[in-house]
A and B are shown apart, each in its own frame.
Chain A
């Protein structure tokens, strides 16, 4: 993994008062994203607007495409020409992107997509919060594959995790998602942007061997193949079809097994290096609240109340949602009476916790269809039930 210094042109060093959407754009510019293709959709549009306003002074491309399908596909093309590309969207646009998210996975293309989640399904609640796309991001495109998804809980983390998302996408040659939500996206808070030399930027794993020996899909030791870019004389081929190490289509079960397992293993076997979460007072806790995004901010109030009344409550905030911290949840399941999972959907991550707990501790959900955040009392009630 080659680390380089951030290009200071894109880094707006200083202390700012920004909303989450703007902070995503600043994170992208800071880490060296110079290619943004997108389509307006509430509540994510501010990221595109910010990028459009800033990019002429940095040097790069902002293009408003004709739809979200074109946006994600242009990103794949741009990535293969050597750019670090990004787009931003919300539910309906995210649904439109699904087929080509699969193409990006199949072609092992680094790119970043931020989803500022709103209430769904369909047009749902364009201006109001939701967290209903957490399973869609993992399973939304057809077939078996793996992606990485992060969930920021503040504008500062929108900035930080966008940088992390780009770095992870370059390391693993995979689409990485910043799964934020309308509340965090529109929440204004202090965002500190460090000097350029303090921003960690990971360089793509460029191939440097002899040209005629290059194989675009030959996994390296870390399972990630080396990459090259169009125009450098490799005359390579890549396809969305099941393919061999050369990138040539091979339509049979053996090659399918090889390529699909590779896409899955590349992330699963590196999961420990990717997963990040924040724990507090889980040691000796009777109940652990597992949350992410805006819901973790709301849960804080309930947890404070519970602790005040003497309950032993720990918290686990998911920063990486996919891959999922299975091992840690299994460990905790042996020790706690129950998990409490508040989320702005009807239990998408709750089911995942239940799976990882292997029946050792119940996973009590605090479901909410979105449109507004939880009443902390509802989370408190669930905590009280959990510790009983």
Chain B
């Protein structure tokens, strides 16, 4: 074959990933890469101008996502991805801002920011990868760890009640709430695509296997075993009452799209309200002429 006839091999993800940073740091069997793939697929399908999409991560395994996506990407401090994203979004409302981080980051240390961003209906897409533990630091108990699960700082099993994240953000006013697992690749993609396509606070929880720590410590097998668990024990119930979404250790759990509603965003509320209160003297912000 002549040199000019050779077809150059390209990864289909090249357009979306910083290939000069690959290979990534995630363990074999980890589910974060799967969620990144779904995210890039959703970006491709959404046909958004990638120059106007920004990703903000916090700290932790999922916090590393910002480093791999070929977008304006910010790797902030532990728990603070949401306020960072809030500043970014409000400072340039033309941006589509995605927070991509883990359960410990978003719901543990950053829980206060999560509830307030949902309350304000800040126009953000939050992808929360939930692996039930603090993995980057070696597998400690988290605010999402099911009761009984064993982790290095719960060496005799966890006895704290975990968060039911969809219920939490629903109660705070989120306008889009879904939960999937790393098994539900197409559905994760679809949810991210839907969230990217709408305004308001969107929250997508994706339950993923942490093979190295959570699974090993709890003798749950490898990635395949966890996929089997998701397959056998997850049940799709769109529109389910978010109060019913608690997750028991290796028990049945509900996935699906629970909330998809319209409500004015923070900026829309600000402009509408101040226009009403101040009349023509008000200088609208972030509104295209």
Q: What is A's interface to B at a CB cutoff of 8 Å?
A: 9, 35, 37, 56-61, 63, 65-67, 69-71, 73-83, 85, 99-100, 103, 229-241, 248-249
Question: What is the distance, in angstroms, from A81's C-beta to the closest C-beta of chain B?
Answer: 3
Shortest Cβ-Cβ A-B pairs, 3 listed: A77-B87, A74-B87, A81-B91
**Cβ–Cβ contact B56 & A234, under 8 A:** no
**Cβ–Cβ contact B75 & A70, under 8 A:** no
CB within 8 Å for A82 and B91 given contacts A70-B80, A73-B77, A233-B51: yes
**Cβ–Cβ contact B87 & A73, under 8 A:** yes
Within B172-191, the residues touching A (CB, 8 Å) are none
CB within 8 Å for A56 and B72 given contacts A65-B83, A78-B88: no
**Cβ–Cβ contact B284 & A59, under 8 A:** yes
Q: Which residues of A contact B54 (CB under 8 A)?
A: 230-231
Interface residue from B21, B83, B89 paired with A69 (Cβ < 8 Å) = B83
Q: Which residues of A contact B77 (CB under 8 A)?
A: 73, 99-100, 103, 240
**Cβ–Cβ contact A235 & B51, under 8 A:** yes
Interface residue from B20, B66, B91, B113 paired with A83 (Cβ < 8 Å) = B91
- Rounded to whole angstroms, the CA-CA distance of A76 and B74 in the bound complex is 10
| Most chain A CB neighbours (cut-off 10 Å) among B75, B77, B83, B90 | B83
- For the complex with contacts A65-B116, A78-B91, A230-B92, 18 further pairs of A-B residues with Cβ separation under 8 Å are A37-B87, A56-B278, A56-B283, A57-B281, A65-B83, A76-B76, A77-B86, A77-B87, A80-B72, A81-B87, A81-B89, A85-B91, A230-B54, A231-B94, A236-B73, A237-B18, A237-B66, A239-B75
- Rounded to whole angstroms, the CA-CA distance of A238 and B79 in the bound complex is 17
Is the C-beta of B70 less than 8 angstroms from some C-beta in chain A?
A: yes
Q: Which residues of B contact A77 (CB under 8 A)?
A: 56, 74, 83-89, 91
- Whose C-beta in chain B lies nearest to the C-beta of A62? B270
- Rounded to whole angstroms, the CA-CA distance of A248 and B73 in the bound complex is 11
- Rounded to whole angstroms, the CA-CA distance of A235 and B71 in the bound complex is 4
Question: What is the distance, in angstroms, from B59's C-beta to the closest C-beta of chain A?
Answer: 8
Q: Which residues of A contact B285 (CB under 8 A)?
A: 59-61
Is the C-beta of B246 less than 8 angstroms from some C-beta in chain A?
A: no
Q: Which residues of A contact B86 (CB under 8 A)?
A: 37, 63, 65, 70, 74, 77
**Cβ–Cβ contact B74 & A80, under 8 A:** yes
**Cβ–Cβ contact A231 & B75, under 8 A:** no
**Cβ–Cβ contact A73 & B88, under 8 A:** no
- Rounded to whole angstroms, the CA-CA distance of A386 and B75 in the bound complex is 52
**Cβ–Cβ contact B72 & A236, under 8 A:** yes
- Whose C-beta in chain B lies nearest to the C-beta of A71? B83
**Cβ–Cβ contact B91 & A238, under 8 A:** no
**Cβ–Cβ contact B84 & A76, under 8 A:** yes
Interface SS, A side: mixed
Q: Which residues of A contact B67 (CB under 8 A)?
A: 237, 239, 248-249
Is the C-beta of B274 less than 8 angstroms from some C-beta in chain A?
A: yes
Q: Which residues of A contact B278 (CB under 8 A)?
A: 56-57
- Rounded to whole angstroms, the CA-CA distance of A76 and B90 in the bound complex is 12
**Cβ–Cβ contact A230 & B88, under 8 A:** yes
Within B111-151, the residues touching A (CB, 8 Å) are 112-113, 116
Interface residue from A9, A59, A85 paired with B87 (Cβ < 8 Å) = A85
Is the C-beta of B282 less than 8 angstroms from some C-beta in chain A?
A: yes
- Rounded to whole angstroms, the CA-CA distance of A236 and B91 in the bound complex is 17
**Cβ–Cβ contact A240 & B92, under 8 A:** no
- Whose C-beta in chain A lies nearest to the C-beta of B95? A231
Q: Which residues of A contact B274 (CB under 8 A)?
A: 56
**Cβ–Cβ contact B90 & A35, under 8 A:** yes
Q: Which residues of B contact A63 (CB under 8 A)?
A: 86, 90
Q: Which residues of B contact A237 (CB under 8 A)?
A: 18, 66-67, 73-75
Q: Which residues of B contact A248 (CB under 8 A)?
A: 18, 20-21, 67
- Whose C-beta in chain A lies nearest to the C-beta of B66? A237
Is the C-beta of B52 less than 8 angstroms from some C-beta in chain A?
A: yes
Q: Which residues of B contact A76 (CB under 8 A)?
A: 76, 84, 87
Is the C-beta of B43 less than 8 angstroms from some C-beta in chain A?
A: no
- Whose C-beta in chain A lies nearest to the C-beta of B78? A99
- Whose C-beta in chain A lies nearest to the C-beta of B57? A239
Q: Which residues of B contact A69 (CB under 8 A)?
A: 79-80, 83
| Contact pattern, B 12-34, Cβ under 8 Å of A = 1, otherwise 0 | 00000010110000000000000
- Whose C-beta in chain B lies nearest to the C-beta of A70? B83
| Most chain B CB neighbours (cut-off 10 Å) among A63, A77, A85, A236 | A77
- Rounded to whole angstroms, the CA-CA distance of A107 and B70 in the bound complex is 18
